[in-house]
Chains A and B, each alone.
Chain A
Amino acid sequence: MAHINLENKLAKIIDLPTLSVVANNIILITQNPKSSALEVGMAISQDQALVSKILRIANSTFYGFPKEITTITHAIVILGFANIRNLVLTASIVDMFPSSGGDGHFDREGFWNHSLACGVTSKLIAKRLGINNLEEVFISGLLHDLGKLILDTYFSEDFTRVFCMVEEKEILIREAEQELLGFDHAAVGGIVADKWNLPPALIKVIRFHHNPPLANESMRMAAIVHLADALCRAIGMGNGGDSKVPCINEDSWKLLGLSRQRMKRLFSEMEKEIANAKALLALVE
């Protein structure tokens, strides 16, 4: 069967999703270390719905700040640029691809549950490894399967065929994508993330979460998300679109380096933290 050329196919789609102008601005401004909180605040204020979402989230138990945050500038100062960027990104993408959407072949609710579990687990693993930018790790886990949302929305016929094959042959979704389309959701996600000017490390994780060594300087982050993805699938958290567990990359596994006892403790932490994070996703929607 002739494979679809990914770049050509994506190029032909005129309405390939774009982030809103406001979200795009905020991402660019928050990536520039010379930007001020005031500039970021002005950009966010262009979208009042976003302002109230950010304040609601900043005041939620997820962050647990003791005093009420009442202005967007205060939220920016307290949460920091990276957190604000992540909130804006999450809110924009959840808006574009709500858990209630989709055409039925793809379990969107299960998808978001899996993504959230993966974000939380990535953060827990990073914490164990002593990594500082935990929020960056969380968003990487949350958005690692962005490509599946694009395929579901803009290549829905192809994606339906993928699902039929997954069910029929009981294989991984990625294997069916490669066999039918000649590319997988990681490649699609990488191209769209690049088009959206997302942070370079995030693009690398989305692109290489199934093959961390190819992520070069972002290999550690990609390995964490790769592990988190496999652990969540292994334990049955959410629905990634197939029912099998992919093999874990050996170097990534060594990075985790957990004894069986510690692994079981990690599973227990995952369940607890995921319950908390679900409340966050509800606030974003």
Chain B
Amino acid sequence: MGMVDIDNAREGMISVEDVLNKQGNVLLKKGTILTKALIGKLKSLRISGVCVKNAEENNNTDNTSPEVSTQLEELEHRFSDVMGNAIMEELMAAIKEYIEEKGGSNGTY
């Protein structure tokens, strides 16, 4: 769980914490499934974000952490001269999947 920016909030997400206004009144109860209307309402009330399940996956539009992006860029650079070779393309695809699945949890090879 964690905070998701209101601009990245989507229908179907589930709030895991009450959303309060400055006066402490509950605007959205914990456990609510977000709808378009609710998100619009929160935006109009200038609420900056909502705590939802799996927020980390939702804050980046492409779901890729900066560490993973760097590793993928370096990978592409290393393979840039051997593209077109079927073996090397297969190897690169396997490493790419490996990096993505690992999610940049350990970049220190």
Binding site for B on A (CB under 8 A): 117, 170, 230-231, 233-238, 243-248, 250, 253, 260, 263-264, 267-268, 271, 274
- Given the interface pairs A236-B75, A267-B95, A267-B98, the reply to whether A244 lies near B106 with Cβ below 8 Å is no
Majority secondary structure of chain B interface residues (helix, strand, loop or mixed): helix
Q: Across the interface, which residues of B come within 8 angstroms of A267, CB to CB? A: 94-95, 98
- Given the interface pairs A117-B109, A244-B78, A271-B109, the reply to whether A260 lies near B97 with Cβ below 8 Å is yes
Q: Across the interface, which residues of A come within 8 angstroms of B75, CB to CB? A: 234, 236
Structural contact, A271 and B87, CB atoms closer than 8 A: no
**In the complex, given contacts A245-B88, A271-B106, what are 4 additional A-B residue pairs having Cβ atoms less than 8 angstroms apart?**
A244-B78, A248-B88, A263-B94, A263-B98
Q: Across the interface, which residues of A come within 8 angstroms of B80, CB to CB? A: 244
Shortest C-beta distance, A173 to chain B (Å), equals: 13
Partner of A235, one of B85, B87, B101, B109: B109
Structural contact, B79 and A264, CB atoms closer than 8 A: no
Is B67 engaged at the interface, CB distance under 8 Å to the other chain? Answer: no
Shortest C-beta distance, B96 to chain A (Å), equals: 10
A230 to B97, CA, bound (A): 18
Structural contact, B87 and A245, CB atoms closer than 8 A: no
Interface size on B, residues (CB 8 A): 23
Structural contact, A264 and B109, CB atoms closer than 8 A: no
User: From residue 32 to 91 of chain B, which have CB atoms closer than 8 A to chain A?
Assistant: 71, 74-75, 77-82, 85, 87-88, 90-91
Structural contact, B87 and A234, CB atoms closer than 8 A: no
Structural contact, B101 and A264, CB atoms closer than 8 A: yes
A248 to B92, CA, bound (A): 12
Structural contact, A234 and B95, CB atoms closer than 8 A: yes
Q: Name 18 interchain pairs, CB-CB below 8 A, sorted by A.
A: A117-B109, A231-B91, A235-B109, A236-B75, A236-B78, A243-B78, A244-B81, A245-B78, A246-B82, A247-B88, A248-B87, A253-B87, A260-B90, A260-B94, A260-B97, A263-B91, A263-B94, A268-B98
Q: Across the interface, which residues of B come within 8 angstroms of A235, CB to CB? A: 95, 98, 109
Q: Across the interface, which residues of A come within 8 angstroms of B94, CB to CB? A: 260, 263-264, 267
Shortest C-beta distance, A285 to chain B (Å), equals: 20
A263 to B80, CA, bound (A): 21
Is B93 engaged at the interface, CB distance under 8 Å to the other chain? Answer: yes
Q: Across the interface, which residues of B come within 8 angstroms of A248, CB to CB? A: 87-88, 91
Q: Across the interface, which residues of B come within 8 angstroms of A268, CB to CB? A: 98
